Amino acid sequence: MRYVGALIIKLLMITLMLWVFLGVFGGISLANILLVSVLLTGVSFLVGDLYVLKNFGNTLATVVDFVFIWVGLWALGAALFPFEGLVLYCITSAFFIAAGEGFFHLYMEKIVLTETESNLGRTSTRDLQTEFGSDVDIKSDVEKTNKKKK
């Protein structure tokens, strides 16, 4: 049930942003906006939130979502409702959706994904420490031993 709630929140966020930028400023019909929102939300949730966010963290997941929303919106827009300036509308929409995605990912990590799920398989947890050690020069130790024998 946690995933369904998160999916609905994401769908509402993407639909609202697309309605503002494409519907109000671009004159695109609500039916086209809903269709694009459902498609982008489904794929973005599976790839960006359930795979990239779990394995690589919030920053990379937000960047991946930005690129995916931009390219996906541009491709779907070019097929469904081509008009002059579509690329600019797509970049603007993707930017504001990605800004919301940053906060959505915090919600996902804190509420939806449990601690074990959010860190499972993550390649970097940023808990790194510097390792100090000393190297032993074998030749100098052998030479010291040989000098003592003479």
| Alpha-carbon gap, residue 125 to 122, rounded angstroms | 7
Which of 98, 48, 43 has the alpha carbon at shortest distance from 70? 98
Query: Which of the four pLDDT bands, split at 50, 70 and 90, describes residue 46?
Result: very high
pTM over 0.85: no
pLDDT in tens, 77-132: 999 988 888 899 999 999 999 999 999 999 998 888 875 554 555 566 666 667 66
Distances (CA, A) of 99 to 69, 80, 125, 134: 12, 25, 23, 47
